[in-house]
Amino acid sequence: MKANALDFANFVKLEIEALKPEDFHGRTRRAKQLREEWYPISRLALHLLQPGLEVEIEVHGAAAGKVDATLRETGFRDRELKVEVTCTYEYEDSLRDELMMETGSAPGAGKITRIAGQISAVVTAVDYDYEIQRNARLVAERIKAKCGKVYSAETLLLVSFEDMAMSGWQNWVNFTEAMRRHEFSAERAPFSAIYVLNACTNEMQRLK
């Protein structure tokens, strides 16, 4: 699929809105691709879009040997970027989503497992910055994993996570400081740029 930034963002929005609740929360079928790849790509394109600059996106899906998308800018700047996307969604997150669908609530932290087909969750008190520390750890892990692969020099890495509570500049300052404790250096990463998106708040920061 190929489209300009505005059309692509609107298409993704409508596709997500049309998902059944069980597909949206379970990330089944098309929902996984929409939420974990296409939505973050659409936010990146809108982030780069500005007067005098057109942004076109071509998503590649599961095409062998290709990154997730190609982004082309034309206008006062002409360039082409390859976009590789990854997200921090884990197995425990899927269990919390499943429990939420089944019972209407799920603890945001604490041990959660599936035993004999039933999800068992323990409510646990956590520090005020628990989610910031967790997000930083997971983002750093995803970037390090991608650094172990070979990409062309014009490849941009986009990492997304979802956290409704993490909003505002100070939280992002704390986030980047927490990433340093995981021995992460954006400058040494083999990507032309690294962006991190909180898909719940549409806040995006560039790490490199």
CA trace torsion 51, 160, 145, 151 (10° rounding): -20
Pinpoint the alpha helices (H) of 35-107. 39-48, 91-103
CA dist 85 → 46, 53, 66, 140 (Å) = 16, 23, 12, 14
Q: Report the pLDDT value the prediction gives residue 201, as an integer from 0 to 100.
A: 96
Residue 165 and residue 132 in contact, taking contact as beta carbons nearer than 8 Å: no
Backbone phi, then psi, for 106, in 5-degree steps?
Answer: -160, 140
Q: Where are the domains of the chain?
A: 2-89+127-206, 91-121
The DSSP call for residue 197 is E
Q: Report the pLDDT value the prediction gives residue 120, as an integer from 0 to 100.
A: 87
Token pair recorded at residue 153: 């020099």
Which residues of the chain have a pLDDT value below 70?
63-64, 184-187
Q: Report the pLDDT value the prediction gives residue 105, as an integer from 0 to 100.
A: 85
Q: Report the pLDDT value the prediction gives residue 108, as an integer from 0 to 100.
A: 85
Exposure string of 22-57, with b = 16+ CB inside 10 Å and e = fewer, is: ebbbbbeeebebbbbbbbbbbbbbbeeeeeeeebbb
What H or E segment, with its residue span, contains residue 80?
strand 79-87
Q: Report the pLDDT value the prediction gives residue 64, as an integer from 0 to 100.
A: 59
Q: What pLDDT digit, counting tens, does each position of 121-164 carry? A: 888 888 989 999 999 999 999 999 998 888 998 999 999 999 99
Sequence-distant (6+) residues with CB within 8 A of 80 are 70, 71, 72, 73, 154
Task: For residues 7 and 42, give the distance between their C-alpha atoms in angstroms, rounded to a whole number.
Answer: 9
Q: Report the pLDDT value the prediction gives residue 29, as an integer from 0 to 100.
A: 81
Token pair recorded at residue 17: 């809105």
CB-neighbour burial class of residue 133 (10 A; exposed 0-12, middle 13-18, buried 19+): middle
Residue 41 and residue 4 in contact, taking contact as beta carbons nearer than 8 Å: no
Cα-Cα-Cα-Cα dihedral sign, residues 37, 110, 184, 201: positive
Q: Report the pLDDT value the prediction gives residue 117, as an integer from 0 to 100.
A: 86
